[in-house]
Structures are given as structure tokens and as C-alpha cells.
């Protein structure tokens, strides 16, 4: 692992690190914010998964998570959204290829060798973090934006014993039936709809649910509402009677202005669960 940069932020340290990834067969980069408390012992960890076209840098520099993380003594990790490099397949469509890993382990075609973001985020990167940083891996929570919201919800519900809380900003909520999900996951995983069910947040809420706190924020003026399908997720929450807070935020769009406006609410939810 290489440390690419470290900057003091709100008394803690915002680092950027790279390493050779076995899961993705390429070098991967991630950001990690360590609050001041990390100087004296392990701290809880919040995952922030980013959306289409993003790198580790977008949420790290735009979401505004460090201030609250410093106050509550929680580390925040910002993984990349896909494998990258000259030998990694890409596509002309920004919703496929580099920047669009969808947090799945691809099994089909040219994607299968590198696009293992599920294994990277759930296995390889957690092990690397535990080995190299003062983190309490028994206290983890997860959030994300757009494609990352899809990733946060689906990972949390597939690994319910790992995460104490989950939240999402404008998540891709119905990947089985949306143009943001169906074409991409079919290319990555194949035509078998059953193999894609565990990567659909609305399906998982209704079939499995989540026993910890859950918060979803969605802007009413989001330019991608028809692709995100928040109504599918809200309906699934209601059908299961899943304890959750689902908020339609009037006038907000899909940008990081939206994310940064409500990041403190999400951080507070996770901090309470992590320190309980």
C-alpha cells in the first residue's frame, strides 16, 4: 500500500492511498478520513460509496463528511467506484465500464477479469483497512449516493451482521427493472434474473429487510427520478413494514449540493448506531 497524500482536516487526517488489488486485478485508490480519536485507539468506520462516473475523490471533497466525523470520532472510507487502468475494459456509455462498477462481481465477457467490486468492497478492502489503520471493524456502517446508494443498501442487507446502520442519497432503487441497472447488471452478470435479485434494493427490502436504522433521502427535482425509481423502494418498505425514514426533499436535485445539505443527518444516524 502507498500513501499518496495526507491532509489535516478538522483535527484529523484525510489520506489517499493506493494498492495492488487482487480482486480487481489492477491498482485501486481509496480515501480514508481518520478523526482525532484515531491517534489514541481504534475508531468505528463508515463506508461512503459513490455513484456513476465518480472516483474516490468526489465524495471525499464534496460531501462534507469530515467535520461531523471529527466531532463524533468516526472514520470514513471513500472507495473508488470501479477498477481502472489501461488494461481494464471500458465502454462509450458512461453507465458501463470504468466509473460504473455497480458494486457487483461480474461473471460475463470482458468484464469478468477486473470488475469484482463486490469482493473488493466487502472482502479485500476491509481486510486491508483492518491491517493498516486503527479501526474498530466490529463497528461499521454504510452509506452511498446514487449507484453508491444502491451499493450501500444491497451490501447492508446481504451482510446484515456487519453493518449497524445504512443510509442512501438518491439510490438506484430498482436495478432489476430500470435502465440504470437492468442493462448493466445483465452485461455483468448475465440474463438470469435470479442472479441479479440480490443487487436490487427494493427486492431486498421486501424479502429480507434490515434490522438497524435506515435512512433514505431523495430530491424531488432530481433529474434522474425515472431511472432511480424511488417509488419502488418506498413501496417495498411499506409492504414489509420495514422501520425506515424515507424523505422526499423538496427542490433538491441529484448533485453533491443535495448530499452535503443532508450529510449531517446521515452522519448523526450512523454515529448513534456505531457508538451504541
Q: Pick from 210, 216, 211: which is nearest to 167 by CA?
A: 216
- Contact between residue 154 and residue 209 where contact means Cβ atoms under 8 Å apart: no
Average pLDDT score over residue span 92-113: 97
Q: Which among 129, 108, 115, 98 is positioned nearest to 23, based on CA atoms?
A: 115
pLDDT of residue 189: 98
Active site residue 145: no
Instruction: Catalogue the long-range contacts made by 193-199 (C-beta closer than 8 Å, 24 or more residues apart).
Output: 198/154, 198/158, 199/102, 199/103, 199/104, 199/150, 199/154, 199/175
| pTM reported for the whole predicted model | 0.98
Catalytic residue among 199, 254, 266, 270: 254
Mean pLDDT, the chain, integer: 98
Task: Provide the 3-class DSSP secondary structure of residue 191.
Answer: coil
Distance CA 72, CA 23 (A): 32
The domains located in the chain, with CATH, are 2-274 (3.40.50.1820)
- Compute and round to an integer the Cα radius of gyration of the chain: 17
Model confidence at 273, pLDDT cuts 50, 70, 90, reads very high
> Quick one: pLDDT at residue 9?
98
DSSP string for 59-115: HHHHS-HHHHHHHHT-EEEEE-SS--STTS---SSTTSSTT--TTSB--SGGGTTT-
pLDDT tens-digit profile of 29-61? 999 999 999 999 999 999 999 999 999 999 999
In this structure, the strands spanning 43-49 and 26-34 are unpaired
Task: Exactly one of 21, 50, 70, 146 is catalytic; name it.
Answer: 146
Q: Which of 80, 200, 217, 222 is catalytic?
A: 222
Over residues 165-169, the mean pLDDT reads 98
Q: Measured between alpha carbons, how far apart are the two ends of the chain, in Å?
A: 32
pLDDT > 70: percent of the chain: 100
pLDDT at 185: 97
pLDDT digits (tens, 9 = 90+) for 174-191: 999 999 999 999 999 999
Closest CA to 82 of 60, 50, 46: 50
Say whether 222 is catalytic: yes
d(CA 30, CA 112): 22
* Beta-carbon count within 10 A of 165 CB: 23
Place of cell 461531523: 68
For residue 254, indicate whether it is catalytic.
Answer: yes
Report how far residue 76's alpha carbon sits from residue 9's, in angstroms, rounded to the nearest whole number. Answer: 12
Amino acid at each position: 500500500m502507498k500513501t499518496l497524500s495526507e491532509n489535516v482536516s478538522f483535527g484529523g487526517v484525510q489520506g489517499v492511498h493506493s494498492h495492488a488489488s487482487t480482486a480487481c486485478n489492477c491498482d485501486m485508490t481509496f480515501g480514508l478520513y481518520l478523526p482525532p480519536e484515531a491517534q489514541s485507539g481504534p475508531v468505528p468506520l463508515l463506508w461512503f460509496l459513490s455513484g456513476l462516473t465518480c472516483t474516490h475523490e468526489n465524495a471525499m471533497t464534496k460531501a462534507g463528511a469530515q467535520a461531523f466525523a471529527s466531532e463524533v470520532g468516526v472514520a470514513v472510507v471513500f472507495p473508488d467506484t470501479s477498477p481502472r487502468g489501461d488494461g481494464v475494459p471500458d465502454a462509450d456509455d458512461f453507465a458501463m465500464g470504468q466509473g460504473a462498477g455497480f458494486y457487483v462481481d461480474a461473471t460475463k465477457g470482458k468484464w469478468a477479469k477486473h470488475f469484482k467490486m463486490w469482493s473488493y468492497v466487502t472482502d479485500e478492502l476491509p481486510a486491508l483497512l483492518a491491517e493498516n489503520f486503527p479501526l474498530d471493524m466490529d463497528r461499521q456502517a454504510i452509506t452511498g449516493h446514487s449507484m453508491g446508494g444502491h451499493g450501500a443498501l444491497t451490501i447492508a442487507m446481504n451482510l446484515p451482521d456487519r453493518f449497524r446502520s445504512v443510509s442512501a442519497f438518491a439510490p438506484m432503487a430498482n436495478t432489476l427493472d430500470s435502465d440504470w441497472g437492468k442493462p448493466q447488471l445483465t452485461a455483468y452478470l448475465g440474463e438470469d434474473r435470479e442472479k441479479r435479485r440480490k443487487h436490487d434494493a427494493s427486492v431486498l427490502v421486501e424479502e429480507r429487510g434490515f434490522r438497524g436504522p435506515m435512512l433514505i433521502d431523495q430530491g424531488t427535482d432530481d433529474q434522474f427520478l425515472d431511472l432511480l425509481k424511488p417509488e419502488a423502494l418506498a413501496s417495498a418498505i411499506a409492504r414489509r413494514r420495514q422501520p425506515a425514514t424515507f424523505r422526499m426533499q423538496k427542490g433538491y436535485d441529484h448533485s453533491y449540493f443535495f448530499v452535503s445539505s443532508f450529510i449531517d443527518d446521515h452522519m448523526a444516524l450512523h454515529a448513534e448506531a456505531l457508538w451504541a
